Amino acid sequence: MTTRTAGGPVTATYWMDHAWLGTHVEPDVTVEVADGRIAGVRTGVETPPPGATVLRGLTLPGLANAHSHAFHRALRATVQVGSGTFWTWRELMYQVASRLTPDTYFDLARATYAEMALAGITSVGEFHYLHHAPGGTPYANPNAMGEALIAAAAEAGIRITLLDTAYLAAGFGEQPNRHQLRFSDTTADAWAERASLLKGDDHTLIGAAIHSVRAVPAGQLATVAQWAEERNAPLHVHLSEQTAENDACLAAHGRTPTRLLADHGVLGPRTTGIHNTHLTEEDIALLGSSTTGTCMCPTTERDLADGIGPAVALQKAGSPLSLGSDSHAVIDLFEEARAMELNERLRTNIRGHWTAAALLRAASADGHAALGRPDAGVLEPGAPADLTTVALDSVRTAGPVPRLAAETAVFAASAADVRHTVVAGRHIVRDGRHALIEDVPGALAAAVAALHH
């Protein structure tokens, strides 16, 4: 038996028949929890200690969904009718956004975050730009929408990094359209004043986001970056998701979006570019040399026909990779992880760009780091006691030997195979059922229906 411990009285004990310890699958592992953190990790514990909760399957560190737009969950299937482009999809998205209130947003986000918990996600990065009432009038509480998201995550039992987003323009030199008035604080200074009123707690971090270079005038990018720097907060930005954005930026500023961000002090180790799809070699070098992160969202990128980003080149250049479900075409971090690898196989005709271990790290530790929690995503003393257990006896996962359980999880399992989710030592999903929300499908159906009637 080996033992690694940290201080503090034990408040819960979990025994796992198999656990992923970052490099290998270890059988018979006990994790002790104190004050929401891992107090001890013991291997070689052949039978569950008295009073321990048994987690059968492969237990991983809790998964991090580094990029979410909660209200897009209401678009599932609706946007699969007919054909079109990202820009036609966006018009349908605006229609749903126009109907949301703080109350209906809370209901939808609570159900969506509960779906994430059922998928083994213990922390979400919510890229939040739906700030004001229709027409752009601030609510009496100017952060009513953001606080609804924070409350929704708390009731669903997962952590949230609220990435409050500056979204000020429709495009380069263009005023917001009628839909975007809800998003805009008019100036970055006004955005900063409102965002400064948001408060975090044990399960909530407050970060910042620049919607895109087309949505924040170049002269105001530094204001958002400085706000995040002063708070040592994560800063996210949609980057080169569309070639049209690149073309417009070149026309307006004579440089790529990545170069524009670099020139205004936006890039750096606390910054994550979302998508990073259509990049030049110089862009890749700028992102890598500044250790700016990359969040790939493969299920959304393929759903919107955006393209396949240069994830391998970005990581080799020094950009850490994380994963997000973005528009929630599906909510499944295992699918995001394998899609990143399988997309690259299709693009290159070569197999094996990442190991299962590397893909699990993108889905956990590097995702948590992108959300401002660099101590999370590992089963080690001192880390948050966030756990995800994947069944190894479902029709998808049965058969492979246990030492290949990481490969089984990444390349065969789905969100439906998640058996347990633990957040801060608290059992949120037990045997595939949400402990806090009795009927998650019913909650989703009701919340979505309220926006389509």
Task: Tell me the catalytic residues.
Answer: 275, 326
Residue 398 sits at φ, ψ, to 5 deg, of: -70, 145
Q: How many residues does the chain have?
A: 453
Question: What distance in Å separates the CA atoms of residue 181 and residue 8, rounded to the nearest whole number?
Answer: 50
What's at 81, amino acid-wise?
Answer: V
- The distance of Cα 398 from the centroid of its chain, to the nearest Å, equals 28
Q: Which of 265, 365, 362, 237 is nearest to 311 (CA)?
A: 362
Own/partner contacts of 104-107, CB < 8 Å, gap of 24 or more, are 104/447, 104/450, 104/451, 105/70, 105/71, 105/130, 105/145, 105/148, 105/149, 105/152, 106/148, 106/149, 106/151, 106/152, 107/152, 107/443, 107/446, 107/447, 107/450
Query: Residue 375 has what DSSP assignment?
Result: T
Q: Which of 311, 452, 433, 364 is nearest to 62 (CA)?
A: 364
Question: What distance in Å separates the CA atoms of residue 303 and residue 41, rounded to the nearest whole number?
Answer: 41
Q: Are 407 and 400 in contact (CB under 8 A)?
A: yes
**Strand, helix or coil for residue 433:** strand
Residue entry with tokens 């492969």? 58
Structure tokens at 228: 């995040």
